[in-house]
Structure 1
């Protein structure tokens, strides 16, 4: 029986994989959080991997506090970059498969067309920079690894845009949401399913893949969809990013092209509103 190690199992994607694992009982699952797999303590990490001895690693753990990363660069780099190096080199040495989750924030946001896996990377914040360094070291240490770039992740678990908007729309009469950052949301349950399609496929095709739901929207349009599905009466207005300054800059356009994952793994990529309805009805 193959053993799958999931890091960051209390996060959005890790929690969705935990739910989904019930349908895959022919695998032995090991779900770890930051107390069991310490990505910020590199000297301990290799020993922990030796104890677990996984056949497949799904690395969902990351430092994702985008604004905080600007002032905690060292910690973000250890978790998003240096720890990935340990996971990649261990998996290469032990013939284990590695799926590492990355982000659309590796791009600078100046594109006007959906970005494919070969589009030039050029992060504009510390979080994006550490994630890109993680990608590079991952493929360097283990060329057989698979990296999945995703964007705007939400689910029933953890803190995310959908849950925050739903709460605020019930508490307030009006809300302002940025309307000049374009991309597509990702329902973590859909990404978890896509990962399982890859793991259970008869062939393993290493490299970088994009995954997010279908659609090209701004955060403002995303908020309007949440308002409509939730039946909220809160007034939602679009504002430019310049009216809502944050410590970290965000890419203005980071829509991901999903052609590759659809062609190679025949992964189903649902339309964003369908997935949003699913999550909000749970």
Structure 2
């Protein structure tokens, strides 16, 4: 068995209209990664160039159908058999941290969680080459954070992102930026990130609606509350329900309380969690 795992990532919600930003990391050993990649290629209709969340423009569109079949295959044949892990972390952008840095912090946490799950120390990380993450911040986090009190490095450093003064308590994933059009798992990560983020937009929109009701019944205390206008579309909400149903079918303990996806047991191979920034990440 290889002493490293592979991880593919993408994000959703980097535009100014989004209240939340999500990152998705799909990880596993090479054999499972190759099999899932092949399965996604075989499912792909010839009319589709690239599967992107913003292309899911209706229940009958080929993009939506391909996304559904890809999710179904991933959950039913891979995640439920514990050979693929998917982690989606979501953060409220109203936290006084630049979005690019927030994305880097979430990737850092997701990579560490994947390493803990797969046990082996090496990590090959394949993000979208158009990622909005702050590469310098990602390097800084790995460089300055003592992840484990161990004499062995957790991640393999490479020259393009070699930390200054590298030592055994500093760790770095091996990173290779990829063209998402040529990388089915980055496309799938985009779908996971988009669906989960939209479910969190539901969360804040539901909260806003409740505040509006309070305004009408009691006072004008919420006059200054401003909501960004990334309102989930009905067909995007149907994807939230579809993913939740797949999770229920596979007993993956994912809740849809208040309209957003959240894992009851984060240690399972599928984890949807809210990221609260702290001093470490």
Q: Is TM-score (shorter-chain normalized) higher than 0.5?
A: no
Normalised to the residue count of structure 2, the TM-score between the two structures is 0.31
Higher relative contact order (CA 8 A, sep 6+): 2
Normalised to the residue count of structure 1, the TM-score between the two structures is 0.31
